[in-house]
């Protein structure tokens, strides 16, 4: 539950003996973590009270207390600004409230700072350079975190994975951030002491001077770009350039070339961190605000491209072209080795020649003229137009021999001839012998094996059983030219 400024004033009297507040007002701070107030006592002195809202925020205040104690007077004297001093603390259950001595100056918005004079931009740049030039021993002696460039990048990747699991980050931003984090050339920098929570609310300004820097809860050794994130987020390039110019001239170590790129990434990624914090705290107001800002950022990046954060450009997804759909059936290619053409003309089967794509050896079917088969001078038209004159076909077994019962049926059938049946019974023997002699067939592929003559099948019989293959090539020869030309006998 949020504490009112009057309640914080009561807590301050317990933390600092003899403190008698006469006036109180709220103070700007991180509303998700702290309740803050400014006090005026009976002697005209001013105090600042910070009360944590949860255990993590309380741990941060205790860390800041250790940091401020590590700043010896000699170090403070070299800084171009003042630092807070802890006047007292009081513990209430698991939370600790801290009271600080008042520092001169006031906070200003980013817009006010960017509209300030060149002298103010120089002051901000010099203050940031002084922080980044602090000795590393200040952090290591206080047992505070220290990260190498690769460790810091990996830590940020882990945070990105955690944010992605929420399902509330726009995919465009996830791809953009992941690409920047995997760009190793972007993460070549010299680690330095970093404030870790630097923004406009932690800068106290009096006129054209930066009088104090507060909020030392996240001091560490890491990426100096983190302290630049709030600056890049101002979207005032002239202000950014002015601060960066004085920052570069004041630093002992020259900043790397990709400082502002990582600062832009840090500014964008702060929205994802804010969302994760809201989800962890169960604060729906924070969640809604974070989602709204993430959506607005994704739309801005999609429309304008956003600020450059990667050295290598983000690869665009490639959309494969739609496959061509030929409308002409003849334009669809069919492998030549699988084509089988049945050359049965209309005069015999009543059907046109149909190309088949089934995988079988190429077989050429040679029709037998009706005059030779039935002795009917009427031609094919007579057989097709007069169903009463149709004669059933003579079946042939696998060895090419006409069945006896089929011969008898043919002789007795309407319009049949016993002499034609006898001739059909004698002829298959010769074809069978030719088919059995596979060697001779392979050596003389052009030899035509005569099929037995048979009667004509009705024109409406289109079953494939009406065709019998008499001869075939040897198994080892798969070429289509080695196949004999075989005549088909309709049933």
pLDDT at 388: 46
Number of Cβ within a 10 Å radius of residue 22: 11
Those residues of the chain that have pLDDT short of 50 are: 335-363, 372-389, 391, 398-403, 406-418, 420-422, 424-449, 451-452, 454-459, 462-464, 481, 486, 491
pLDDT at 427: 46
Tokens at 313, concatenated: 């450009």
pLDDT at 369: 56
d(CA 311, CA 179): 10
CA angle centred on 438, ends 432 and 441, rounded to 5°: 90
The owner of tokens 């050596």 is 443
* Residue 118: φ, ψ to 5°: -65, -30
pLDDT at 323: 56
DSSP letter string, 255-308:
PPTTHHHHHHHHHHHHHHHHHHHHHHHT-HHHHHHHHHHHHHHHHHHHHH--S-
């Amino acid at each position: 539950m949020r504490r009112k400024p009057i309640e914080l004033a009561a807590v301050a009297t317990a933390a600092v003996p003899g403190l008698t507040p006469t006036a109180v007002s709220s103070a700007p701070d991180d509303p998700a973590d702290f309740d803050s107030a400014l006090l005026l006592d009976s002697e005209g002195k001013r105090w600042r009270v910070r009360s944590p809202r949860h255990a993590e925020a309380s741990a941060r205040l205790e860390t800041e207390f250790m940091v401020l104690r590590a700043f010896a007077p000699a170090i403070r004297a070299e800084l171009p600004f003042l630092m807070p001093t802890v006047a007292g603390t009081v513990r209430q259950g698991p939370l600790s409230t801290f009271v600080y001595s008042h520092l001169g100056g006031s906070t200003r918005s980013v817009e006010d700072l960017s509209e300030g004079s060149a002298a103010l931009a120089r002051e901000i740049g010099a203050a940031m350079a002084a922080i980044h030039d602090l000795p590393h021993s200040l952090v290591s002696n206080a047992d505070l975190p220290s990260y190498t460039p690769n460790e810091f990048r990996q830590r940020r990747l882990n945070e990105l994975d955690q944010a992605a699991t929420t399902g509330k980050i726009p995919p465009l931003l996830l791809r953009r951030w992941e690409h920047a984090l995997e760009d190793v050339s972007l993460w070549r920098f010299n680690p330095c002491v970093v404030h870790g929570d630097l923004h406009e609310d932690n800068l106290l300004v009096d006129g054209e001077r930066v009088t104090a820097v507060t909020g030392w809860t996240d001091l560490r050794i890491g990426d100096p770009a983190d302290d630049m994130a709030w600056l890049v987020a101002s979207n005032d390039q002239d202000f950014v350039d002015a601060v960066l110019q004085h920052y570069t001239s004041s630093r002992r170590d020259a900043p790397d070339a990709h400082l502002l790129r990582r600062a832009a990434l840090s500014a964008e990624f702060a929205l994802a961190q804010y969302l994760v914090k809201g989800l962890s705290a169960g604060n729906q107001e924070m969640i809604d605000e974070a989602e709204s800002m993430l959506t607005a950022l994704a739309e801005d990046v999609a429309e304008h491209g956003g600020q450059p954060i990667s050295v290598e450009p983000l690869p665009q997804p490639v959309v494969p072209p739609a496959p061509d759909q030929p409308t002409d059936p003849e334009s669809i290619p069919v492998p030549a080795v699988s084509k089988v053409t049945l050359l049965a003309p209309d005069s015999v089967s009543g059907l046109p020649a149909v190309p088949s794509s089934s995988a079988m050896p190429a077989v050429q079917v040679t029709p037998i003229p009706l005059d030779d088969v039935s002795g009917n001078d009427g031609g094919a038209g007579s057989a097709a137009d007069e169903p009463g004159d149709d004669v059933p076909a003579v079946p042939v077994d696998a060895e090419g021999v006409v069945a006896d019962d089929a011969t008898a049926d043919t002789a007795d059938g309407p319009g049949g001839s016993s002499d034609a049946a006898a001739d059909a019974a004698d002829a298959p023997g010769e074809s069978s012998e030719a088919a059995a002699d596979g060697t001779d067939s392979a050596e003389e592929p052009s030899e035509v094996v005569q099929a037995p003559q048979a009667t004509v099948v009705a024109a409406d019989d289109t079953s494939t059983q009406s065709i019998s293959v008499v001869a075939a090539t040897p198994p080892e020869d798969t070429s289509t030219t080695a196949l004999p030309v075989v005549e088909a006998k309709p049933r």
